Chain A
Amino acid sequence: MSKGQSVYVRPLDLKHGRVDMSHGSGGRASAQLIETVFAALLDNEYLRQGNDGAVLPLPPANSRLVMSTDAHVVSPLFFPGGDIGSLSVHGTVNDLAMMGAHPLWLSASFILEEGFALCDLQRIVSSMAQAAKAAGVAIVTGDTKVVERGKGDGVYISTTGVGYVQGVTSPSGDRARAGDAILLSGTIGDHGMAIMSQREGLQFESDIESDSAALHELVAVMLATGADIHVLRDPTRGGLATTLNEIARQSGVGMVLDEGSIPVHRQVVAACEFLGLDPLYIANEGKLIAVCAEADAEQLINAMHAHPLAPLAAVIGTVIADDACFVQMKTKLGGKRMVDWLNGDQLPRIC
């Protein structure tokens, strides 16, 4: 819309207004929402062109493109340490980073529920803008749809990211080899517990904050050591346990973990204790697992310790040859047990 027309348009009431069906109809209301909220907050040269897509320059020569996508459905939308907006940027940036990639651009599509407060939407989009700016990525194209009240959960955000990776080898889930060291960048379970502490019917007081963060700079520091990082993966849904099982299966190897070396915040331990949950299965949004040759582990850990996102990075176990692909753990108590995939949702035990 040109400036000449907009003076005749009633401005969007960002304080008390709510999303209605017309905001997704593609008409004037849609345009107004896009202009006032999305374009204004996420502003960059590509978005400013107002086209159906973004025309982007090619990445450096001898590099390969990396692309990833992630849908975000989280309840509550705002939680200690973040919100669905920042999460939707970090989630996709991290998926790219786990491929060893340097992230460049994101697309974002929003599914809004009729009746959703515009002030909350503005808060979410502005959090996305901040997260994208901090991560050095631009949200270059997007889409908005509105579903009827009761058919959504406020807002769903799906982001797709494009980045590039240099060199011929890059981390991949199938490259773990017997003898490799397994590294973890910090405490587990913070994100899932921060969310759970806010859930209706389960509110408990704690200082636990989500660890939601973009990990590509940490990854860049790790890659800069020159170490051949065989696998990188962020233990999101299903937690550390499930992610390690994924890697074990993909690589056709087993693992042995040392429970005592896995960092967990005391409050997360306590919350898990009274809810009957296991931190190994609780989601993280700002942690990574790296698998590398044992000889490279020390320099990687040193590089990670020097980065603000991984002061507690630790070697937590070893890759072993095992056709059954079991992830095993030496417990703090001195026993041994298996660490299996998460099955279904983790359900609290009753006594």
Chain B
Amino acid sequence: MKYVDEFRDGALAQNLTESIALEAKSSRTYRLMEFCGGHTHALSRYGLLGMLPANVQMIHGPGCPVCVLPIGRIDLAIRLALEHDVILCSYGDCLRVPASNQMSLLKAKARGGDVRMVYSALDALKIATNNPTRQVVFFAIGFETTTPPTASIIRQARVARLTNFSVLCNHVLTLPAMEAILTQPGEVPLQGLVGPAHVSTVIGSQSYQSITNRFNKPIVISGFEPLDLLQGILMLLRQVNEGRAEVENEFTRAVTLAGNRKAQALVHEVFEVRDSFEWRGLGSLPFSGLKIRVAFAEFDAELRYPDLIYTNVPDHKACECGAILRGEKRPQDCKIFGTVCTPDNPIGSCMVSSEGACAAHYTYGRFSEVKWAS
């Protein structure tokens, strides 16, 4: 397929892995974090991990929007569906995320909740327009990539004077999470970060300058295609070897210095930064999430349903999602990985989305622990 196959070429991949092997000095270990779940998925799906030298280790970061969503936020959505009888619209991969009392949105649906999977935020708005007698809530999640569409439908709902539509906003910000990873106690010695692809198209490559300046770690923004990712890793190794800590952009065909200003303006018009927001695995991070501005208060589900009060729910005791999201542990280091916690019955959120470190390893990489037959 044009514009896709070119970035999945086996011969070019071979060249790149050879260059990576040459660049990686055998005397040291490189611990690089791919921040984004899209990269985690690509690493696993294309079998890239096995193509890297043993001393180039990829740590799966917290950039999987489903994985960082805390239990308490899913609980709110389930309550909306079951107690308030709304039509709750959600992106597909949120549906299986485990919530309190062994519930999930999918199970809420089985208990009679009107939970609908949507492919885009716009679909939620259409459902509201087509069901004027029902209250419709869009369960908005995601980083900067999915925020502009949510902002856009809130604005459209205002224009259409919809009174039966609101948004439960869980949008989060990339930079505070990166900062948290790089500053939290028990810090993982990371040599560099693969920067997000789609998020960077919105926020622009210059946004990461503050991180490289403050932490002295290189960041290479890379596309989600396998060749992009290999190229990004190669660029990171070069920076590490040369002692540089710069923001470099491998994904120049989509990411600019300033990003998408129109999207940024739209987001700014509709959302403001929350004082703090809880992340699964990272805890409460200041100024890390977005809420709907007062000017659009009538579309804020948290205001429309005042009894929706967020309560923190601790993760399952044995679940290591937190340490895995912080890059301190690997999925297979978790006691319940693949036994109690599987994609069919996820305990932690990293096992839900195929972007999650645990689900990716379970689905694509588990065989490597046993053996590889040639």
Chain A residues near B (Cβ < 8 Å): 201-202, 254, 256, 260, 266, 269-270, 273, 275, 278, 320-322, 324, 326, 328-338, 340, 343-344, 347-351
Q: Min CB distance, B93 to chain A, in Å?
A: 5
16 interchain pairs, CB-CB under 8 A: A260-B10, A266-B1, A269-B4, A332-B10, A333-B48, A334-B10, A334-B47, A337-B46, A337-B365, A343-B344, A347-B92, A350-B91, A350-B141, A350-B146, A351-B146, A351-B198
Cβ-defined contact, A328 with B118, below 8 A = no
In the complex with contacts A344-B343, A349-B355, A338-B1 CB distance below 8 A: no
> Is B239 positioned at the interface, with any CB of A under 8 Å from its CB?
no
Cβ-defined contact, B373 with A340, below 8 A = no
Which residues of chain A come closer than 8 Å to B41, judged between CB atoms? 349
In the complex with contacts A333-B48, A337-B46, A348-B93, A328-B65 CB distance below 8 A: no
> Is B117 positioned at the interface, with any CB of A under 8 Å from its CB?
yes
> Is B14 positioned at the interface, with any CB of A under 8 Å from its CB?
yes
> Is B66 positioned at the interface, with any CB of A under 8 Å from its CB?
yes
Q: Which residue of A lies closest to B227 (CB)?
A: A333
Q: Which residue of B lies closest to A255 (CB)?
A: B373
Additional pairs, 7, CB under 8 Å, beyond known A269-B1, A273-B1, A337-B364: A202-B119, A328-B372, A333-B10, A334-B10, A336-B50, A338-B364, A340-B362
Which residues of chain A come closer than 8 Å to B92, judged between CB atoms? 347-350
Which residues of chain B come closer than 8 Å to A270, judged between CB atoms? 1
In the complex with contacts A273-B1, A333-B10, A340-B364 CB distance below 8 A: yes
Q: Min CB distance, B50 to chain A, in Å?
A: 5
Which residues of chain B come closer than 8 Å to A333, judged between CB atoms? 8-10, 13, 46-48, 51, 226
Cβ-defined contact, A328 with B373, below 8 A = yes
> Is B249 positioned at the interface, with any CB of A under 8 Å from its CB?
no
Which residues of chain A come closer than 8 Å to B4, judged between CB atoms? 269, 273
| Complex Cα spacing A333 to B96, Å | 31
Residues of B in contact (CB 8 Å), total 55
Which residues of chain A come closer than 8 Å to B17, judged between CB atoms? 334
> Is B353 positioned at the interface, with any CB of A under 8 Å from its CB?
yes
> Is B70 positioned at the interface, with any CB of A under 8 Å from its CB?
no
Which residues of chain A come closer than 8 Å to B365, judged between CB atoms? 337-338
| Complex Cα spacing A270 to B119, Å | 16
Cβ-defined contact, B93 with A347, below 8 A = yes
Q: Say which residue of A326, A336, A344 sits within 8 Å of B344 (CB atoms).
A: A344
- Tell me the B1-24 residues at the A interface (CB within 8 Å): 1, 4, 8-10, 13-14, 17
Q: Which residue of B lies closest to A330 (CB)?
A: B47
In the complex with contacts A322-B373, A328-B372, A343-B343, A337-B354 CB distance below 8 A: no
Cβ-defined contact, B119 with A275, below 8 A = yes
Bits for B138-151, please: 1 = Cβ < 8 Å to A, else 0. 00011101100000
> Is B293 positioned at the interface, with any CB of A under 8 Å from its CB?
no
> Is B157 positioned at the interface, with any CB of A under 8 Å from its CB?
no
Cβ-defined contact, A201 with B48, below 8 A = no
Q: Say which residue of B38, B119, B372 sits within 8 Å of A348 (CB atoms).
A: B119
In the complex with contacts A344-B344, A350-B93, A201-B119 CB distance below 8 A: yes
In the complex with contacts A349-B41, A350-B92, A334-B363 CB distance below 8 A: no
In the complex with contacts A270-B1, A322-B373, A347-B92, A340-B363 CB distance below 8 A: yes
Cβ-defined contact, A332 with B51, below 8 A = no
